[in-house]
Chain A
């Protein structure tokens, strides 16, 4: 098992992503972060904190469950639903940043775009991920990436976060 990011590297990556988000959107006033459960939601809460510390004003953030919009539900056991929480200000006409832990096939993000569209028409949708491991099956790319990690399809990227797993660490499993 190879460690790709440790705790301090994860924090540094989030800080850099926060700066890039501010730079791209010229501040955070019209920004909404939407985390994709489970670990993307935890990351978006952290990112919101970093952003509000940097800019000195709170940043709207919520969670977006993509389960009911997935195109790969058939052929596997039904997934348990996670919470969707849209911030009070909604997503309509906002600069929305989707936040997830790992970008792989892109199918989760496609489902997230569909789910998001049900709640309004954002001014723009951007994507922030902690790890981009490649192997896209759809024309989707991330705007903000913590770390690009070339992987083999058979490998597994395991993201652990303090909020859920008790420790911060990103590992690759199944690498010889």
Chain B
């Protein structure tokens, strides 16, 4: 493994499988009465969040604490960051405080990379979402969840067909998932209106569909993406109703999915927009498993990055 986890692109297939296998063992251990391991005792992990987050921050915090690390939460609101402090000065502060690992979420793509490259600090950098670029631990926990349900937690994801549906353009989750699923041997289909697909999408090794109903019954996994209204400053689709009718997972489409198809969503959900309440709560939905698995996957990441030298 490398020192940092900045993007899925940096990982080899072996690295990715090693994280998943390690997470598998850690999930088994934390199911027993053992909730806490002494592995990272005395290490300090800083959660540096320049953007709002519930799931990811809490998940990283829980993961770090279960490995006995000390956790410092640092969010933009209520800190000097809101007074306009630069990333560099923040990094120098963290270095002075002796942070062994920094989990960073930032609205600008490449922020994690910059923090890692500039040598402002010596600790490991873990990207917890940078702009519309990548969110590697989300892709890893998604792959973990798919493997758990469809591959008995063994090996890669070869032969599986995964549809990623919705706002691909603004989604770092989609970007990381496309790269990871491809590495692990799954076949990815992006389903979205042309306005919500990135410019160079034809260079990705994916199929593209503009019609959700086409091949609907052939997918093993349907991954719904959140419509990111906060990143939309122009009209990408005529109306929410039309978007929902054409690209939303509603009860009718749910009934057409294959028997063992998984319904996933990285959260937070816009219920009624990209996913209907009955789809989100159906027996096919593994959305709660995704959140649960997030802790094990992040423990594995922290252990593999900080457990050694």
Number of A-B contacts (CB under 8 A): 50
> Judging by beta carbons under 8 Å apart, are B33 and A119 in contact?
yes
Instruction: Tally chain B residues at the interface, Cβ within 8 Å.
Output: 21
Contact of A78 with B307 in the complex, beta carbons under 8 Å: yes
Do the beta carbons of B303 and A77 come within 8 Å of each other?
no
Residue of B nearest to A73 (CB): B307
Contacts of B1 on A, CB cut-off 8 Å?
A: 77-78
A74 to B42, CA, bound (A): 12
Q: Which of B21-29, B139-147, B159-167, B182-190 has 4 or more CB atoms under 8 Å from chain A?
A: B21-29
Of the residues B21, B38, B67, contact of A114 by C-beta under 8 Å:
B38
Residues of B within 8 A of A164 (CB): none
Question: 15 extra interchain contacts, Cβ-Cβ under 8 A, other than A68-B29, A84-B29?
Answer: A68-B37, A68-B67, A68-B303, A76-B308, A77-B308, A78-B1, A78-B307, A80-B21, A81-B25, A84-B25, A86-B32, A118-B33, A118-B34, A119-B33, A119-B34
Task: Assess the A119–B32 pair: CB atoms within 8 A.
Answer: yes
Q: Are A74 and B309 in contact (CB under 8 A)?
A: yes
Verify A78–B25 contact, CB threshold 8 A.
no
A82 to chain B, nearest CB (A): 8
B-binding residues in A (CB < 8 A): 65, 68-69, 73-84, 86, 114, 118-119
The dominant DSSP class at the A interface is loop
Q: How far is the CB of A48 from chain B (nearest CB, A)?
A: 21
Could you tell me which B residues sit within 8 Å of A by CB distance?
1, 18, 21-22, 25-26, 28-29, 32-34, 37-39, 67, 303-305, 307-309
Nearest CB to that of B305 among chain A residues? Answer: A78
Closest to B38 in A: A69
Give the residues in chain A near B305, CB-CB below 8 Å: 78
**Do B22 and A81 touch (CB < 8 A)?**
yes
Top 4 nearest A-B pairs by Cβ distance? A81-B25, A78-B308, A118-B34, A68-B37
Q: Are A77 and B309 closer than 8 Å at their CB atoms?
A: yes
